Structure 1
């Protein structure tokens, strides 16, 4: 029988979110229904509400989530009822050219549930990133469920988006190694996850750059060895000074702005790697001298979901968390109810929290 549950929707562009009844169908072939235990309030959800992703309103928001599988449809072998899972938005297809090349972390045809969740009047909902987890239950493709060891859902659920994006930007995309230096521009949830990843990987010089002293203090908790307030000093000069005059081996840009990307470009060492993980708006452009691009060598990369493979990375990072080597608890600024999402957006927009997490 389909379930009627509470969920948070964005009904129209820039309108406050609403807590309403939604209908979650029984899982069909290849699908799973998951009881949501916790879901982080991510900036991407705010982008959906603001109309910055697309215009497929109404959206069922929420995607950074963990919970327990309640039921599965025909043909599902990845998970079973009772499994504790983290939801992901990269359910690899196994058939596209990336998968055939043995690079499923770049899958170009990730899939979602076929059926639609709806409002009680039958209006179809667009789930954020194919998940829609600001709800007591949600319907997803079974491949969007990654089974992990039991752990605090409010903490490990953040691996579903922001923490994985930042950690992976440093470790998977940037390839930061033992003894290397890294600079991270933007010390919100994603940037601090990049810092945490660099520490786990063994980077010895970890430089946090922001314009907010509170965020720079957060960065120290995650492993930053140095901090630079870009309001008070030139971050490129500061990074060079902290790296023997050379620049950092890896620079992660977690802001998504042309001015910070340009700073990141000039703050790297020769043959260094620049990684863009901050999400820019479609109107933004960056201009760089081609001779500088050529002359500095190295690589300019973008990181999509931290270039992660959930089945590989989520269990590993949960194990690091359980060993005390990756402090996911520190990302959870507050635990809130499902009716508090709009207020959480305001706190996030004001830079007052790393993550508000809805606990159900």
Structure 2
């Protein structure tokens, strides 16, 4: 039978979101029905609302979520009813060429639930996008009292963790942490600069601290964010609206540049900063998501002559089954401050106003608590 739940829906491009009644089916083979306890408000949800990630409206928003498995479909063995889980948007297949190479974090065939969640009043979608079938954000759709996902999108973690904090591993925190630690490979005694101190950049700073980096340089144009970055472990801050970020990073690293530079913004100017602010043979990591029209131009001789690595970080190159439980353990040990990312807790009908606060840089994360 279908479950009627309240959920946040973006009906058309640029329009304010609304709380609607949504039908969520019982799980089929390989699927899980999850009672959502908390879900973070991420920039990606705003990109969906603005039409920046496809035009398959209406969208069921929300994806940084934690909750409890209510029921599972046929063949599901990885989770069971009653399990406390963090949801992820890259359920690995286990059989593609990347998985067979032992690199499942690069899985080329990630999957979601096959059944659709719908608005009440029908099950089909018109060509104009006006039908009732919903497109869940990143295959999750967790601004809802319950959601349907592929069972592989559920990662069981310690149930003593706060749902509001744990759910943030589902996207932004994991992306930033992994960009520094997995993709960038920052280690004990290394130097790292993080350009852009929103939620993802702040997680990269926190990850570098956990990894034992010696110098952690936070770069932003917002003084409030730089102050916050110090709380998460930044040893130095650079206000790039007042000084040349590349020269400042070099000055703080003996004139050489940082071992790792993370671009958590995703613009041509910040990527060039990351490229030139790294040491010779250093690593530049792009984790900020660019918009489709952006391009970057670099002298090819500089690309050759500076050596090192230019990497893109997909979801922090994470493997949820490995990384989510490990980071929850660090959180419960007091070594990784997930609670610090939760700026406020809100209700479902406050998501639209949370977008405004996020856009103004007033919060790291607003978290919907159900």
TM-score grouping bracket, smaller chain normalisation: over 0.9
Q: State how many pairs are aligned.
A: 360
Cα distance in structure 1, aligned partners of 2:333 and 2:301: 46
Cα distance in structure 2, aligned partners of 1:90 and 1:77: 18
Cα distance in structure 2, aligned partners of 1:102 and 1:226: 37
Cα distance in structure 2, aligned partners of 1:295 and 1:329: 43
Matches within 5 A, 1:169-318: 169-318=179-328
SS of the residue corresponding to residue 331 of structure 2 reads: helix
Deviations 1:47-72 (A, max 9, x none): 00000000000000000000000000
Deviations 1:299-324 (A, max 9, x none): 00000000000000000000000000
2:9 is matched with 9
Q: Does structure 1 residue 42 correspond to structure 2 residue 42?
A: yes
Cα distance in structure 2, aligned partners of 1:45 and 1:97: 31
Cα distance in structure 2, aligned partners of 1:347 and 1:98: 39
SS of the residue corresponding to residue 313 of structure 1 reads: helix
Matches within 5 A, 1:132-171: 132-150=141-159, 151-171=161-181
Could you tell me which runs of 5 or more consecutive residues in structure 1 were left unpaired when the two chains were aligned: none
CA RMSD of aligned residues (A): 0.4
Shift, 1:121, TM fit = 1.3
Cα distance in structure 1, aligned partners of 2:79 and 2:270: 42
Deviations 1:281-336 (A, max 9, x none): 00000000001000111000000000000000000000000000000000000000
Cα distance in structure 1, aligned partners of 2:112 and 2:352: 26
Cα distance in structure 2, aligned partners of 1:98 and 1:75: 24
Q: Which one of the candidate residues 136, 143, 160 is aligned to 1:127?
A: 136
SS of the residue corresponding to residue 169 of structure 1 reads: helix
Cα distance in structure 1, aligned partners of 2:8 and 2:91: 23
User: Normalising to structure 1: TM-score of the pair?
Assistant: 1.00
Deviation above 2 Å: which 4+ runs of structure 1?
A: none
Deviations 1:241-261 (A, max 9, x none): 000000000000000110011
1:68 is matched with 68
Shift, 1:168, TM fit = 0.1
Deviations 1:10-50 (A, max 9, x none): 00000000100000000000000000000000000000000
SS of the residue corresponding to residue 266 of structure 1 reads: helix
2:87 is matched with 87
1:29 is matched with 29
Shift, 1:76, TM fit = 0.3
Cα distance in structure 1, aligned partners of 2:228 and 2:170: 21
Could you tell me which runs of 5 or more consecutive residues in structure 2 were left unpaired when the two chains were aligned: 123-131
2:345 is matched with 335
Cα distance in structure 2, aligned partners of 1:202 and 1:293: 29
Cα distance in structure 2, aligned partners of 1:199 and 1:126: 37
User: Normalising to structure 2: TM-score of the pair?
Assistant: 0.97
SS of the residue corresponding to residue 333 of structure 1 reads: strand
SS of the residue corresponding to residue 325 of structure 1 reads: coil
Cα distance in structure 2, aligned partners of 1:252 and 1:67: 31
Cα distance in structure 1, aligned partners of 2:298 and 2:71: 52
Cα distance in structure 2, aligned partners of 1:256 and 1:17: 26
Shift, 1:95, TM fit = 1.1
Cα distance in structure 1, aligned partners of 2:241 and 2:47: 26
Shift, 1:2, TM fit = 1.3
Cα distance in structure 2, aligned partners of 1:302 and 1:318: 25
